[in-house]
Chain A
Amino acid sequence: MFNKEMEKGGLKDVETVIGPSVKVKGDFHGQGNIIVEGIVEGSIKTGNSLYVGDKAKVTANIEAKDARIGGEIVGNVKVKGHLEIAANARIMGDIEAASLAVSRGAILNGNCSMVAEKEQRKS
């Protein structure tokens, strides 16, 4: 059996958990780690890690330091560090990251640009 930490990318000290039976509308900005398993409409921004579960539905632009994306995303994803796109992910939007891993089966409809971390800091 997988334990929860494995399932959620080893995220600890999570500030926000958006569970499967919750819908968040608006601009959701935080500094800590965020887990999204439910529905988000608006924007998500965090200075730390973001985990989007396989059943999540996100209609929002996303900004994070590192991210693991599963589920359905309609919007642009901008990550300063590492972006992991899981097999169940369906992304309709552009992605931008310093490093990228895409699992087999993931769907990406949009532009992909790779920006080195140093360049991002300059800009």
Chain B
Amino acid sequence: MHVYIYDSFVNHKKYNNILARIETRLTDLGLNGKICRLGAMKNIREMVKSELSRGAKTIVAVGNDQTVSQVLNALAQSTDPAPYQKTLNPTPPMGIIPVNGENNSIAAALGIGPGEEACETLSARRVEKLDLGMANDAYFLSTASITNQGTVVTIKNYSVELLEEGEINIINLPPKEMVLPREAIFNPQDGFLDLLIQTKKNKKRLFAGAQEMSQSVFPVTLLSLSNDRGRPLLLDGSLEVRSPAEIKLIKKKLNIIVGKERNF
């Protein structure tokens, strides 16, 4: 059975039409299932856990990146092994239906189109096992980012010192719009997270004030970050985690339904 988790923002009447079209297409494809709606009084983790115990075979996030992040965390945490278990519990596949065009970079990176296009992707059911990043107790699929001012990065055997102002991203699945070094490889199935450091360097020769971007990439499986100014780490553009944070890779944790046009 498919379980569709609707984010609270889709209750707005401006989404009535698109939701009606999505629901019709899902019925046509024989994918109709149970609809659960998120709200201030509902605990998503409990919701996902109870649906899994009732035999849900696919959990679908209907909304945007924030919805994906919430559902992903609930799903991954519900299937975390108990301390005495040595193997991971299998995670039922997760699907995504992006509702509005904005703030859906995770779906775009997975090759999932908006609205009814996503229903076709669900129907085709190409399931891939992807790595996940974990910052303290929270999971992320795409990126974890923090400003580099006052941030110290420590990796096993070496440390990285930043000489200019900029941003630090830990990337698992790169968002489609992100500008990345052309020579480097980013893949959510390669068993590594990529630490991407982007700094702005003042270009004095041509135009005053013009800036050029300098990028550094390090493959990592474990690192720690701390920020002495109390800046939080932002996971998948929506979930805040306090620093200091230990970030690690969880290999092949998530089964997810992807589209043909995916990034990897």
**Measuring CB to CB, which residues of chain A are less than 8 angstroms from any residue of chain B?**
4-5, 8, 11-30, 32-33, 35, 37-39, 42
Contact = CB atoms under 8 A, between A and B. Distances in A.
Contacts of A13: 183-185
A39 B184 CA distance: 19
Contacts, number: 81
A16 B219 contact: yes
Contacts of B185: 13-15
Nearest to A26: B158
Contacts of B218: 16, 18
A25 B158 contact: yes
Interface string B136-176: 00000000000000000000011111111010000000000
B217 A14 contact: yes
Given A4-B183, A15-B184, A21-B166, 5 more contacts: A5-B182, A12-B183, A22-B161, A22-B216, A30-B219
Interface of B: 157-164, 166, 181-185, 197, 199, 201, 214-219
A17 B185 CA distance: 11
A25 B197 contact: no
A28 B184 contact: no
Contacts of B216: 17-19, 21-22, 38
A15 B219 contact: yes
B217 A16 contact: yes
Contacts of A35: 183
Nearest to B158: A26
| Most B C-beta atoms less than 10 A away, residue of A15, A23, A28 | A15
A22 B196 CA distance: 11
Contact of B199 (A17, A21, A26, A42): A21
B160 A21 contact: no
A28 B158 contact: yes
20 contacts: A5-B183, A8-B183, A11-B183, A12-B183, A13-B183, A16-B218, A20-B201, A21-B162, A21-B163, A21-B164, A21-B201, A21-B214, A22-B160, A22-B163, A22-B214, A23-B162, A26-B158, A27-B157, A30-B219, A39-B163
Chain A binding surface SS class = strand
A29 B182 contact: no
A26 B159 contact: yes
B158 to A, nearest CB: 3
Contacts of A28: 157-158
Nearest to B212: A20
A8 B181 CA distance: 12
Nearest to B166: A21
Contacts of A29: 157
Interface centre among B181, B182, B218 (most CB of A within 10 A): B218
Nearest to B156: A26
Contacts of B197: 19, 22
B174 to A, nearest CB: 14
Q: Which 5 A-B pairs have the closest CB atoms?
A: A26-B158, A19-B216, A21-B164, A14-B183, A23-B161
